[in-house]
Amino acid sequence: MRIVVFTGPTLAADDARRVLDADYRPPAGQGDVYRAALERPFAVGIIDGYFERVPAVWHKEILWAMSQGVHVLGASSMGALRAAELEAFGMEGVGAIFRAARSGKLEDDDEVAVAHGAADTGYRATSEAMVNLRATLRAAEKAGVVSRRTRAALERLAKETYYPERSYPALIARGREAGLRADQIDGFKAFVRGSRVNQKRDDAIALLERLAELRAEAPGPKRVAFSFEHTDAWDQVARHEGARAATGADASSDAGALAEELRLDGDAWPRARTGAMLRALARTEAKRQGVDVGRGLADRAERAFRAERGIEDEGRLTAFRAENGLEGDDDWTRFLEGEARLRWLEAMFETDARRHLVEELCATGRYAALRLRADEKRRVLGAHGLEAPGLDDAGVGEDELWRWYFEERLGRPRPAAWATHLREAGPVDEDGLRQEALRELLFERLRGKGR
């Protein structure tokens, strides 16, 4: 009987295979359990799942899997949270973290969340889970290494730390900075070296052992006491994810194939990669600062996006969504929420970005040439009193200026949607861009390179 298990930073697949022979897959995101259930396994075990970078595994897909006769169990991380939420419907939870979530002692997702590397690192965790820090601190208190007061203070300091930055060295350093008893901090440091508790790993192994027991019991297909309700939203997701399962496509393979094509197109890959990083940063920073992308922000992002892309009517919008795989309402909503977060990030950090522009130009080796040209332009225009020229100074009309600027200077047609160019060229408005175009036109003429 085949079992599918989603794991990653909590327990590496190679280590897990020593406990249970199963089909091990990366941390679960939205749609992954649904696609696994389409394959009709005996059981699905959820250990790790995504919290931020991609949409989390959906409750409804777990309910659907169980309604199709698949046993679904969870522990340790995302699996423990979903099991606590869906126990009443038949999902089975395993381990101390699940029990804490079920009882209400554990409420926050960040208690189990960790930062981790990509697939090529084996999803190696780069931070420590709060539940592990708590378990180790309790063990240290029980062993007499730290007092109850020190344990509570260290727990508070850990909880106040953003989850990707949590680690034992960071916690020990913060404890020293807070003036906690040096002998107890030293003792805790030594305790961690040999006796730290990895509750997430322990629970993950317990889940695998439980799956092995269940396989041996051979109870037959899962039976549930509820009637699965089909909704428009569910049917849209099911169609979308079912199509992905049929073609074997997923986000990572799509990204890999697209990156291959981008790398063949000059400098398109680094530009796209930087843009993707900004989107990831926008999501993380918005969550860290508690920015809620409600309907208002999403609507404003949609209006701005459509203006920039020249998507004026609903027919063009429908075509755009179809071309870009955004037909589903949930897909379109997620896309707009991402756009809203990105625009918020741009507005929030525009000043900081300008301060770091010189660093970026130095890193890419463009600073010296640009600095030399900017100084020469300032000197040449200043010598002729043309620091802030107008159309009359250049002897051109508005249309003639923009034709020269885009077609001759930039080598491309004038954009149909001004908003798109101004956002890409920003921060600058139309008046500011006109001034820049006039300065460049006159500079080239004075250097003998214009007409």
pLDDT tens digits, one per residue of 208-223: 999 999 999 989 899 9
Q: In this structure, are 311 and 298 located in the same domain?
A: yes
The answer, yes or no, to whether residue 70 has pLDDT greater than 70, is: yes
Q: Which helix (H) or strand (E) is 344 found in, with range?
A: helix 329-355
Report the pLDDT value the prediction gives residue 215, as an integer from 0 to 100.
Answer: 94
77 and 47 in contact (C-beta within 8 Å)? yes
Residue 229 within a domain: no
Q: In this structure, are 56 and 103 located in the same domain?
A: yes
Domain boundary among 355, 389, 417: 355
Report the pLDDT value the prediction gives residue 426, as an integer from 0 to 100.
Answer: 59
The answer, yes or no, to whether residue 246 has pLDDT greater than 70, is: no
143 and 129 in contact (C-beta within 8 Å)? no
Q: In this structure, are 400 and 297 located in the same domain?
A: no
Tokens of 261: 């094509």
Phi first, then psi: give them for residue 225, nearest 5 degrees: -100, 0
172 and 236 in contact (C-beta within 8 Å)? no
Output the CA torsion sign for 177, 178, 183, 187: negative
CA-to-CA distance for 375 and 25, rounded, in angstroms? 57
Q: In this structure, are 385 and 419 located in the same domain?
A: yes
Q: In this structure, are 7 and 111 located in the same domain?
A: yes
Which whole number is the average pLDDT over 180-192?
Answer: 95
Q: In this structure, are 161 and 286 located in the same domain?
A: no
Which whole number is the average pLDDT over 85-103?
Answer: 94
Q: Predicted confidence band at 249 (pLDDT cuts at 50, 70, 90)?
A: very low
SS3 387: coil
Residue 240 within a domain: no
Which whole number is the average pLDDT over 163-179?
Answer: 93
126-140, 280-294, 322-336, 401-415 — most confident range? 126-140
Q: In this structure, are 104 and 213 located in the same domain?
A: yes
Report the pLDDT value the prediction gives residue 451, as an integer from 0 to 100.
Answer: 39
Which whole number is the average pLDDT over 159-181?
Answer: 93
Domain boundary among 330, 355, 380: 355
Residue 236 within a domain: no
Q: In this structure, are 31 and 111 located in the same domain?
A: yes
Count of CB atoms situated within 10 Å of the CB of 248: 8
For residue 431, what are the CA distances in angstroms to 386, 391, 398, 408, 424?
16, 12, 11, 20, 15
Which whole number is the average pLDDT over 318-325?
Answer: 89
Average pLDDT, rounded, for the chain: 86
Residue 19 within a domain: yes
236-245, 376-385, 411-420 — most confident range? 376-385
Residue 36 within a domain: yes
Q: In this structure, are 258 and 407 located in the same domain?
A: no
Report the pLDDT value the prediction gives residue 271, as an integer from 0 to 100.
Answer: 81
Report the pLDDT value the prediction gives residue 183, as an integer from 0 to 100.
Answer: 95
The answer, yes or no, to whether residue 152 has pLDDT greater than 80, is: yes
Domain around 190: 130-197
Report the pLDDT value the prediction gives residue 255, as an integer from 0 to 100.
Answer: 63
Residue 233 within a domain: no
Q: Report pLDDT digits (tens) over 392-405.
A: 999 999 889 888 98
Q: Which residue has the tokens 């022979």?
A: 21
Tokens of 76: 């340790």
The answer, yes or no, to whether residue 417 has pLDDT greater than 70, is: no
Report the pLDDT value the prediction gives residue 1, as an integer from 0 to 100.
Answer: 87
Taking alpha carbons only, the member of 106, 68, 64, 67 closest to residue 84 is: 106
Report the pLDDT value the prediction gives residue 281, as an integer from 0 to 100.
Answer: 85
Q: In this structure, are 205 and 192 located in the same domain?
A: no
Tally of domains within the chain: 4
Q: Predicted confidence band at 421 (pLDDT cuts at 50, 70, 90)?
A: low
Percentage, residues of the chain above pLDDT 70: 90
Residue 178 within a domain: yes
∠ CA(424), CA(428), CA(433), 5° rounding? 95
Q: In this structure, are 257 and 329 located in the same domain?
A: yes
Q: In this structure, are 288 and 411 located in the same domain?
A: no
CA-to-CA distance for 385 and 382, rounded, in angstroms? 5
Report the pLDDT value the prediction gives residue 449, as an integer from 0 to 100.
Answer: 53
Report the pLDDT value the prediction gives residue 140, as an integer from 0 to 100.
Answer: 96
Q: Is 243 exposed, middle or buried (CB count within 10 Å of its CB: 0-12, 13-18, 19+)?
A: exposed
Report the pLDDT value the prediction gives residue 450, as an integer from 0 to 100.
Answer: 43
Which whole number is the average pLDDT over 310-333?
Answer: 87
Residue 149 within a domain: yes
Strands 23-25 and 43-46: unpaired
